[in-house]
Structure 1
Amino acid sequence: MSSMISTPPKMLRPSNLEGLAEQAEQPVNVEELLNVGDRIGREIKNLRKARGITLDALSDAAGLSKGYLSQIERGVSSPSVKALHSISRALGVTISWFFPPKADGDSDLRDYVVRASSRRKLTFVGGITDELLSPNLGRQLELLRCTFPPGSESGKEPYTHQGEEAGYVISGELDLWIRERHVVLREGDSFAFASDLPHRYANTNKRECVVIWAITPPSY
């Protein structure tokens, strides 16, 4: 039985460990699945690496052989719908993650441009919603639009991870702790810090907070 990898080494925020909130799964267009070439393999590999997960760990969680997964990532084999469901659950996303909506006439730009209507979105049990503004996770920089409902937080304890991050508050307020320092970020404020500094954040207000967040390297 396949299951989500419960404790990947890298996470964007610890609250993601609670998993995705219940959301409708979009059906897979089999014709699209058969004509993706090696793109879907790259998407799987990029997401796996961004989450710091090895092929061995993904193989165990998805119930698929390491060799088969390697062939999918290299574009040698195309995954079946059943295999893709297993992979998506193991990586903590819905299967629609691998099939973002395409804007008419933009197929040749999908690796460079993300239309507002084509963003990949994940909503977690803790209420936080991440929208991926980067075209994919294969580059050195990841850009997100993060929505924090009232009461949502990264966790009670500070955490650390590899890389650096920066953000800009579009609306609302966000409480940010870096080491022992606490600051309230308001609309128009921005921040940046090394991610290996103990940090956490929360929306302690009654109004939703929206932040544009940049992370390098990607750690979804």
Structure 2
Amino acid sequence: MSILHYQAGTLFQDLQLVQNPRPVYIDLDFTLLRTSSLYFFFPQALKYLPFWIWETPSYSWSCFKEYISTRVSFQAQTWPYRPVVLEFINLCRTHHIPCFLATGAHRSVAQKVNTFLGCFQDVFGSTRECHLVGQKKADLILSRGQPFTYLGDSTQDFAVWQNALEIVALNPSSYVQKRLEKCALDWSKPLHLVYDQVP
């Protein structure tokens, strides 16, 4: 059974973070943000594409993210953050619940977001060697050795949700929602669906 949330307060209350304190990890693209952070690197990033192809021996996605994020300037303060997630983070901070940004975006992007927001205890992002999504993100969080809550949105987050105490999904697509409803039963986990506004 899925639980719908349209307000940060009800989500915070239902997760029982005060009664059962634990770290909260939050994805960036389409979770904390309404869109992908890569959107803000284009079209400027296109002019670097030929140089990246010429200079980079390994054409991995993580290498591309590092290449453009260290060459294209961006203003994190102008990005469209989800108010419901920001309010949820503020509630966590009020109750001394540590929040971490864990994103497939490059680490430098995550750091700049936190410089602006100032609400995360630490940030984790992709590097040249590691594209921090899926099982790699799950492994990193698990290596910290604590039960945790994770806010995500997409199929790339299933490996993390499988190891979290519950599933918290932001504006999931109908396809992702259907898969989550099945996984919630298979994993015996509560499913929390969070939406920006009442439809």
Structure 2 length normalisation: TM-score?
A: 0.30
- Higher strand content, 1 or 2: 1
With a CA cutoff of 8 Å and minimum separation of 6, indicate the structure with the bigger relative contact order.
2
Structure 1 length normalisation: TM-score?
A: 0.29
- Higher helix content, 1 or 2: 2
